[in-house]
Amino acid sequence: MSRRQDYSYYTKSKEAQQQLYKRSLLVVIISQIFSGAGLAAGITVGALLIQDMTGNESLAGMPIALSTFGSAFSAYLVGRLSQRYGRRFGLGAGFITGGMGAFGVIIAAFIGNLPLLFIFLFIYGAGTSSNMQARYAGTDLANEKQRATAVSIALVSTTVGAVAGPNLVLPMGHVADFIGIPSLTGVFLLAGVAYVLSGLTFLLFLNPDPLMVAREIELVKRRDRNDAEDGEIVHHHKANKMGIWVGGIVLVLSHGVMVAIMTMTPVHMQHHGAAISGIGLVIGLHIAGMFLPSIFTGVLVDRIGRPVMVIASGVTLAISGTLAAYVAGGSVFWMSISLILLGVGWNFGLISGTAIVIDSTDVLTRAKIQGSIDVFVALAGTVGGLASGIVVAYSGFSMLSFLGTYISLLLIPLIIWMRYKQKKSSVQTV
């Protein structure tokens, strides 16, 4: 029996489609719980590990930069694999690769080999890109009014592992000491196991693949209506090209700002006398701010609109940057407030930007476009991670925070421009 015949049951039954949609979301939820724990390693102790090995503060941004650069490279590959073979194989391979990178970081730190550490930090980034692209897996069978909500369900599932991860730095450090590896790499041990489990969850349980089913449903619809007129197809793609650009820019700017400020927060707090447990708490709350609001964000994006939530993202990120520039670096309370807002602003931008991208793409090419956009999102993280260390080393953490505030506010004129172009286009059409 061919693959297309296997999917015929779903193309003929709305009830079957809904069942598969719910089942796919469940698989995504389980996977994201595991992978959330994997995100914490590079964020919480990556900068401290490099600083400990090199004694050079200006290189503190390298772990985030390398892992996000690896995330960019793997985002392209995961997107292409998903386009050709489905989410199941694309995401499964990405997560397992990220897990292998985490285990490699432990080996490199144990033998004190800095070049090898950089290589495995790059490979470790595959877990991050897979975690991000997993949010799309729940949207393949969602309708237009469910898409942002489906993304939010995937993100909020990440909260469980992502919040627990940074707060397990000390316990995992004790585990690392017990088995004879550097204590700062203990959380990478957690990341390796978490990513591998996440990948196996997709490989074993995401079957049938929702993207392949959605693609077959779309092909059947097109055959049933005997294809649209050529002119209508061209107009459709022209109308959505702007949405792809705007959604992509929202994702790039919000992610770049978040990574830049987040990367240097542990170093900034350590310089002001904060304990590693306090730093772990701040990063844990930050990650909670990144993912936990998804309970409400997806519903808001679907109900009050994508543009409003993009503006909310820009304003929230700007408030966070301004606050981070002025509060005491050693204050766990105030740094927590700032970093929570940083996470919330990122969350607003991610879900609204993702929804704009999904709205603007065709299911037959969606995975490839999503992967390509996530490449630029990850590159923004790379630039943010690299630049953050340099800016802080030469101009201070306050200057970094002010730069983040300025960039965040650019989201507002971007949305105003998009609404103007949409209104102009609708007038011309009429």
pLDDT in tens, 192-208: 999 999 999 999 999 88
- Overall domain count for the chain: 1
Indicate whether 237 pLDDT > 60. Answer: no
Percent of the chain whose pLDDT exceeds 90? 30
Q: Is residue 2 part of a domain?
A: no
pLDDT band per the 50, 70, 90 thresholds, residue 234: very low
Q: How confident is the model at residue 57 (pLDDT cuts 50, 70, 90)?
A: low
State how far the Cα of 216 lies from the Cα of 97, in Å rounded to an integer: 29
Determine the Cα angle at 334 with ends 287 and 273, to 5°.
Answer: 95
pLDDT digits (tens, 9 = 90+) for 284-301: 888 888 888 888 898 899
The model's pTM is: 0.77
- Average pLDDT value over all residues in the chain: 84
Q: 10 Å Cβ neighbour count for 273?
A: 10
- Which pLDDT score is estimated for 316? 97
Alpha-carbon span 33 to 344, nearest angstrom: 19
3 confidence band (pLDDT: 50, 70, 90): very low
pLDDT at 144: 74
pLDDT value at position 239? 43
The length of the chain in residues reads 430
Confidence of residue 347 (pLDDT cuts 50, 70, 90): very high
In a domain? residue 311: yes
Q: How much is the pLDDT for 405?
A: 93
Query: Is residue 426 scored above 50 in pLDDT?
Result: yes
pLDDT for res 174: 82
pLDDT score for 58: 65
1 lies in some domain: no
In a domain, 75, yes or no: yes
At residue 151 the predicted structure's pLDDT band, cuts being 50, 70 and 90, is confident
* 99 lies in some domain: yes
Amino acid sitting at position 373: I
What mean pLDDT comes out for the span 246-265?
A: 92
pLDDT of 42 reads: 63
- Any idea what DSSP says for residue 327? S
Tell me, what CATH number does 176's domain have?
1.20.1250.20
Write out the two tokens for 221: 């619809």
Is pLDDT at 56 greater than 80 in this prediction?
no
State the pLDDT confidence band at 72, using cuts at 50, 70 and 90. confident
Domain of residue 386: give its range: 8-429
Which percentage of the chain shows pLDDT scores above 70? 89
Q: What is the tens place of the pLDDT at every residue in 73-128?
A: 898 899 899 988 999 999 999 999 999 999 999 999 888 888 898 899 999 989 98
Q: Quick one: pLDDT at residue 101?
A: 94
Q: Does residue 84 lie within any of the structural domains?
A: yes
Confidence tier at 5 by pLDDT (50, 70, 90): very low
Q: Are 138 and 28 in contact (CB under 8 A)?
A: yes
